[in-house]
Amino acid sequence: MTESVATVATTTPKGRDTGNACRLSRPGIVCPLGADHGLISSALFSASRGLRVSDDFSPGTPLSLGRVTARLVDDSDWPAPLRSRNNRLLATALEQLAPELEALKRQGIAAERIGVVLGTSTSGIGETEAAMDAQRAAVAQGTPSADSWPQSFEYRRQELGAPAECVAWLSGARGPIYTLSTACTSSAKALASARRLLASGQCDAVIAGGADSLCHMTVKGFMSLEAVSRKQSQPLGAERDGINLGEAAVLFVVTPERGGVQLTGVGESSDAHHISAPCPDGSGAEAAMRGALASAGRAPGEIDYINLHGTATPLNDAMESLAISRLFGTDAAADNGSDIDQPRPPAVSSTKALTGHTLGACGALEAAFCWLALEHGRLPPHATPREALDPTLPALNIVYRDRPETPPLRVMSNAFAFGGNNISLVLERHTTDPESSAC
């Protein structure tokens, strides 16, 4: 992880907030659903999966994978340490933020006041795998081991700090620059860190998000944990048996401006239950959600929608359902199979069935899906059919395509990681009225 911090005397540009506003720009998104908001929204709001069956990373064992098929930025003229698929994904997402970055220049925001905080778990491991394959082949053909590495191999591509360095190089940002790696919470924590950099006055804007790319180590590692499904995943399903893996990159420009979509609440916890299994009673997840509500100044009944971590592993879905039911209540209408006249808990769905679990990118990706839900006034439907749901789980208010459309105003996004590392975010759509609340 690298960090460079410069102190620059600035005045607050017109239209900016001196309080605690935390606006998330229109996100740059590159994921298995596409690299265009129109394509992504169409798939997201119709529960259309972006997975393809392949054994590219698991020879002899075909798996449903969420691979990005969109055209990526060419990196052939980049500095060697930055050339990786992970960074090409990020560069493609960054291209989509050109209007937001240009707006920062027009406002006179100095490069030293623009930070970059990203999350990843893979960085450039895929490029190292390719180099190792070439090295082994050269040794097998009689090349001395010391001379067998490809001339193009650059070990710095796999450094965890490389993604933030790359985005800083591409954007010209020269404020605090660092990468977080906390498994599946990485990019959600990057957004939380961006919020803190703004609140502390260290930055006037932060490019925040994350990326992860598919590689052999990731796929085979999760296979060794017996966490990967051989079929399409079924979050909250009775026959759920593991995750599908995916890749993505998502970036936001986070600024202390009012209006638009605001990151109003962040809750984090670390229950340290187990190196890979979640705490069965959901106490760590519940603590993160309670923290996010308290941070946002909201009661449970004020949340309209929750984007579940929803991995489709038996343990995760059981503990997350339990935690949500304790904090927000169970869905009496679902329990009784009828539309009874009483308040229902927040609507919920998992979008990982559409993209695969994008690991270090999932927190930012699913925050972006929440951004789209607030922007379009629609909720992402759940992909697991009603008839396939697990009846032993607490009854949740699950979104399906036949649900009447009620535009959400306040949403929550959950991300839970190895080691009991948990985070929940609250996003809200605000008007530009100066009297409206902000984070």
Catalytic residue among 166, 203, 357, 382: 357
Look at residue 410 and give its three-state secondary structure: strand
Question: Residue 246 and residue 175: Cα distance in Å, rounded?
Answer: 31
Question: Residue 358 and residue 249: Cα distance in Å, rounded?
Answer: 9
Question: Residue 215 and residue 218: Cα distance in Å, rounded?
Answer: 6
Q: In whole angstroms, how far apart are CA 80 and each of 123, 162, 214?
A: 14, 11, 20
**Residue 337: how many CA atoms within 13 Å on its side-chain side?**
3
Q: In whole angstroms, how far apart are CA 187 and each of 121, 252, 283, 363?
A: 10, 11, 22, 5
Question: Residue 245 and residue 230: Cα distance in Å, rounded?
Answer: 11
Instruction: Answer yes or no: 273 catalytic.
Output: no
Question: Residue 346 and residue 425: Cα distance in Å, rounded?
Answer: 15
How many other C-beta atoms lie within 10 A of the C-beta of residue 169? 17
Catalytic residue among 37, 309, 382, 430: 309
Instruction: Answer yes or no: 357 catalytic.
Output: yes
Kindly tell me the burial class for residue 153, based on how many C-beta atoms sit within 10 Å of its own C-beta (0-12, 13-18, 19 or more).
Answer: middle
Nearest Cα residue to 282 out of 396, 407, 137: 396
Question: Residue 360 and residue 214: Cα distance in Å, rounded?
Answer: 11
Name the residue with tokens 């960074």: 87
Find how far residue 345's CA is from the centre of its chain.
24
Question: Residue 276 and residue 107: Cα distance in Å, rounded?
Answer: 45
Question: What crossing angle do the helices spanning 314-328 and 283-296 adopt, rounded to 10°?
Answer: 40
Catalytic residue among 22, 31, 166, 184: 184
**Pairing of the two strands 114-119 and 205-212:** parallel
Instruction: Answer yes or no: 430 catalytic.
Output: no
Strand partners, 119: 180, 210
**Residue 126: how many CA atoms within 13 Å on its side-chain side?**
18
Strand partners, 211: 249
Residues annotated catalytic, as ranges:
184, 309, 357
